[in-house]
Amino acid sequence: MRPETDPPSRDDATGGAGESPAPTLLTDLYQLTMLQAYLERGMEAPAVFEFFVRQLPERRSFLIAAGLEQLLDYLETLRFSPRELGWMESTARFSPDFLRRLERFRFTGDVDAIPEGTVCFAEQPIVRITAPLPEAQFIESRLINLLHFETLIASKAARCVLAAGGRTLVDFGLRRAHGAEAGALAARAAYLAGFHGTATVEAGRRFGIPLFGTMAHSFVQAHRSELDAFRHFVDCFPGDNTLLIDTYDTLQGARTVVALAQELRPSGKRLRAVRIDSGDLAQAARDVRAILDQGGCGDVGIFVSGNLDESAIADLVVRRVPVDGFGVGTRLDVSADAPTLDVVYKLQEYAGRATRKRSAGKATWPGRKQVERHRDAQGVMTGDAVVLEEEPHCGERLLRPVMRSGRRVAPSPTLTVAREHARRELASLPPPLRSLESRAAFTVDISSRIRELAVAVDTA
Amino acid sequence: MRPETDPPSRDDATGGAGESPAPTLLTDLYQLTMLQAYLERGMEAPAVFEFFVRQLPERRSFLIAAGLEQLLDYLETLRFSPRELGWMESTARFSPDFLRRLERFRFTGDVDAIPEGTVCFAEQPIVRITAPLPEAQFIESRLINLLHFETLIASKAARCVLAAGGRTLVDFGLRRAHGAEAGALAARAAYLAGFHGTATVEAGRRFGIPLFGTMAHSFVQAHRSELDAFRHFVDCFPGDNTLLIDTYDTLQGARTVVALAQELRPSGKRLRAVRIDSGDLAQAARDVRAILDQGGCGDVGIFVSGNLDESAIADLVVRRVPVDGFGVGTRLDVSADAPTLDVVYKLQEYAGRATRKRSAGKATWPGRKQVERHRDAQGVMTGDAVVLEEEPHCGERLLRPVMRSGRRVAPSPTLTVAREHARRELASLPPPLRSLESRAAFTVDISSRIRELAVAVDTA
Q: Which residues of B, range 64-83, sit inside 8 Å of A by Cβ?
A: none
d(CA A380, CA B190): 46
Q: Is B350 within 8 Å of A141 when comparing Cβ atoms?
A: no
Q: Is B343 within 8 Å of A278 when comparing Cβ atoms?
A: no
Residue B386 predicted with pLDDT over 90: yes
Closest CA in chain B for residue A281: B360
Q: Are residues B59 and B120 in the same domain?
A: yes
Q: Are residues B449 and B389 in the same domain?
A: yes
Residue B222: count of CB within 10 angstroms of its CB: 25
**Which amino acid makes up residue A3?**
P
pLDDT attached to residue A360: 77
Q: Are residues A327 and A364 in the same domain?
A: no
d(CA B188, CA B438): 26
Residue B2 lies in a domain: no
Give the domain CATH number at B180: 3.20.20.70
CB–CB of B31/B138 below 8 Å? yes
Residue A159 lies in a domain: no
* Nearest chain B CA: its distance from A231 CA (Å): 11
Taking the Cβ of residue B272 and every Cβ of chain A, the question of whether any pair is shorter than 8 Å is answered with no
Closest CA in chain A for residue B276: A359
Q: Which residues of A, range 158-177, sit inside 8 Å of B by Cβ?
A: 172, 174-177
Domain boundary among A333, A367, A400: A333
Q: In chain B, which residues have their Cβ closer than 8 Å to the Cβ of A148?
A: 175-176
Q: Is B279 within 8 Å of A360 when comparing Cβ atoms?
A: yes
Ramachandran angles phi, psi of B294, nearest 5°: -65, -25
d(CA A46, CA A56): 30
Q: Is A145 within 8 Å of B336 when comparing Cβ atoms?
A: no
CB–CB of B127/B140 below 8 Å? no
Q: Pick B400 or A13 by higher pLDDT.
A: B400
Handedness of CA B57, B61, B62, B63 (dihedral sign): negative
Q: Is B278 within 8 Å of A361 when comparing Cβ atoms?
A: yes
Q: Are residues A127 and A185 in the same domain?
A: no
Q: Is A37 within 8 Å of B199 when comparing Cβ atoms?
A: no
pTM: 0.95
CB–CB of B172/B186 below 8 Å? no
Name the DSSP letter for residue A23. Answer: P
Domain of residue A329 covers 165-333
3-state SS assignment for residue A25: coil
Q: How far is CA A355 from CA A347, A389, A456, B113, in A?
A: 7, 15, 10, 54
d(CA A382, CA A394): 14
d(CA A182, CA A185): 5
pLDDT attached to residue A10: 32
Q: What does the pLDDT profile of chain A (460 residues) look like in tens digits? A: 545 443 333 333 334 434 557 899 999 999 999 999 999 999 999 999 999 999 999 999 999 999 999 999 999 999 999 999 999 999 999 999 999 999 999 999 999 999 999 999 999 999 999 999 999 999 999 999 999 999 999 999 999 999 999 999 999 999 999 999 999 999 999 999 999 999 999 999 999 999 999 999 999 999 999 999 999 999 999 878 999 999 999 999 999 999 999 999 999 888 999 999 999 999 999 999 999 999 999 999 999 999 999 999 999 999 999 999 999 999 999 999 999 999 999 999 999 999 988 887 778 899 999 999 999 999 999 999 999 999 997 789 999 999 999 999 999 999 999 999 999 999 999 999 999 988 888 999 999 999 999 999 988 7
CB–CB of A449/A388 below 8 Å? yes
**Pick from A126, A147, A125: which is nearest to A74 by CA?**
A147
d(CA A175, CA A180): 9
pLDDT confidence tier of residue B16, bands split at 50, 70 and 90: very low
pLDDT attached to residue A299: 96
State which H helix or E strand residue A388 sits in: strand A381-388
Q: How far is CA B432 from CA B8, B383, B435, B438, B441, in A?
A: 36, 13, 6, 10, 8
pLDDT attached to residue B349: 95
* Nearest chain B CA: its distance from A268 CA (Å): 20
Q: Are residues A284 and A198 in the same domain?
A: yes
> Residue B375 class from Cβ within 10 Å (0-12 exposed, 13-18 middle, 19+ buried)?
middle
Residue A233 CB partners (closer than 8 Å, separation 6+): A215, A219, A241, A243, B33, B37
* Nearest chain B CA: its distance from A409 CA (Å): 26
d(CA A275, CA A459): 64
Give the domain CATH number at B133: 3.20.140.10
- H helices within A301-397, ranges in order? 310-318, 330-333
pLDDT attached to residue A12: 34
Q: In chain A, which residues have their Cβ closer than 8 Å to the Cβ of B347?
A: 217-218, 221-222
d(CA B309, CA B317): 12
d(CA B302, CA B307): 17
pLDDT confidence tier of residue B18, bands split at 50, 70 and 90: very low
d(CA B16, CA B24): 16
Ramachandran angles phi, psi of A402, nearest 5°: -125, -20
3-state SS assignment for residue A45: coil
Residue B15 predicted with pLDDT over 90: no
d(CA A177, CA B281): 33
Q: Are residues B371 and B451 in the same domain?
A: yes
Q: Are residues B130 and B42 in the same domain?
A: yes
Q: In chain B, which residues have their Cβ closer than 8 Å to the Cβ of A52?
A: none
**Which of B25, B133, B221 minimises the CB distance to A205?**
B25
**Which of A32, A277, A334 minimises the CB distance to B340?**
A334
Residue A310 lies in a domain: yes
Taking the Cβ of residue A28 and every Cβ of chain B, the question of whether any pair is shorter than 8 Å is answered with yes
B51-60 in b/e form (b: 16+ CB < 10 A) is bbbeebbebb
d(CA A43, CA B232): 11
State which H helix or E strand residue A164 sits in: helix A140-164
Ramachandran angles phi, psi of A57, nearest 5°: -65, 165
Q: In chain B, which residues have their Cβ closer than 8 Å to the Cβ of A202?
A: 22-23, 25-27
**Pick from B126, B11, B25: which is nearest to A213 by CA?**
B25
End-to-end alpha carbon distance in chain A: 64
Q: Are residues B316 and B388 in the same domain?
A: no
Q: Are residues A262 and A402 in the same domain?
A: no
Q: How far is CA A403 from CA A46, A186, A414, in A?
A: 15, 24, 16
Closest CA in chain B for residue A249: B359
pLDDT confidence tier of residue B20, bands split at 50, 70 and 90: low
d(CA A373, CA A120): 10
pLDDT attached to residue A277: 96
A-interface mutation test, from B175, B181, B278, B337, most A Cβ less than 10 A away: B175
pLDDT attached to residue A386: 97
Q: Is B178 within 8 Å of A178 when comparing Cβ atoms?
A: yes
What angle, 0 to 180 degrees and rounded to 10, lies between the N-to-C axes of helices B180-192 and B415-427?
60
Residue B359 predicted with pLDDT over 90: no
Q: Are residues A225 and A355 in the same domain?
A: no
Residue A9 lies in a domain: no
Domain boundary among A267, A300, A333: A333
Residue A385: count of CB within 10 angstroms of its CB: 19
> What is the Cβ-side half-sphere exposure of residue B151, based on CA atoms within 13 angstroms?
34
pLDDT attached to residue B28: 98
Residue B10 lies in a domain: no
Residue A13 lies in a domain: no
Among the ranges given (A399-403, B243-247, B360-364), the one the predictor scored with the smallest mean pLDDT: B360-364
Residue B10 predicted with pLDDT over 50: no
Q: How far is CA B294 from CA B118, B289, B291, B299, B300, in A?
A: 46, 8, 5, 12, 12
**Which of B174, B204, B334 minimises the CB distance to A340?**
B334
Q: Which residues of B, range 307-336, sit inside 8 Å of A by Cβ?
A: 330, 334-336
Domain boundary among A333, A368, A392: A333
State which H helix or E strand residue A386 sits in: strand A381-388
d(CA A172, CA A327): 6
Q: Pick B415 or B268 by higher pLDDT.
A: B415
Taking the Cβ of residue B359 and every Cβ of chain A, the question of whether any pair is shorter than 8 Å is answered with yes
Residue A400: count of CB within 10 angstroms of its CB: 13
d(CA B430, CA B452): 31
Q: How far is CA A231 from CA A128, A223, A264, A275, B105, in A?
A: 56, 10, 9, 16, 26
A-interface mutation test, from B1, B20, B27, B28, most A Cβ less than 10 A away: B28
Q: In chain B, which residues have their Cβ closer than 8 Å to the Cβ of A340?
A: 176, 330, 334, 336
B-interface mutation test, from A140, A143, A178, A349, most B Cβ less than 10 A away: A178
Taking the Cβ of residue B237 and every Cβ of chain A, the question of whether any pair is shorter than 8 Å is answered with yes
**Pick from B291, B283, B265: which is nearest to B274 by CA?**
B291
CA angle in degrees (0–180, nearest 5) for A278-A281-A284: 95
Number of domains in chain B: 2
**Pick from B455, B68, B367, B9: which is nearest to B210 by CA?**
B9
* Nearest chain B CA: its distance from A174 CA (Å): 7
Residue B107 lies in a domain: yes
pLDDT, tens digit, 9 for 90 and up, residues B199-242: 999 999 999 999 999 999 999 999 999 999 999 999 999 878 99
Q: Are residues A360 and A317 in the same domain?
A: no
- H helices within A42-138, ranges in order? 68-77, 82-90, 96-103, 133-138
CB–CB of A173/A333 below 8 Å? yes
Q: Which residues of A, range 6-25, sit inside 8 Å of B by Cβ?
A: 6, 9, 20, 22-23, 25
Taking the Cβ of residue B233 and every Cβ of chain A, the question of whether any pair is shorter than 8 Å is answered with yes
Q: Are residues B317 and B194 in the same domain?
A: yes
3-state SS assignment for residue A344: strand
Q: In chain A, which residues have their Cβ closer than 8 Å to the Cβ of B339?
A: 178, 334-336, 339
Q: Is B357 within 8 Å of A217 when comparing Cβ atoms?
A: yes
pLDDT attached to residue B19: 53
Secondary-structure breakdown of chain A: helix, strand, coil percentages, each rounded to the nearest 5: 40, 20, 40
**Which of A205, A212, A280 minimises the CB distance to B87?**
A205
d(CA A328, CA A309): 7
Name the DSSP letter for residue A414. Answer: P
What angle, 0 to 180 degrees and rounded to 10, lies between the N-to-C axes of helices A226-236 and A250-264?
50
Residue A4 lies in a domain: no
Q: In chain B, which residues have their Cβ closer than 8 Å to the Cβ of A41?
A: 232
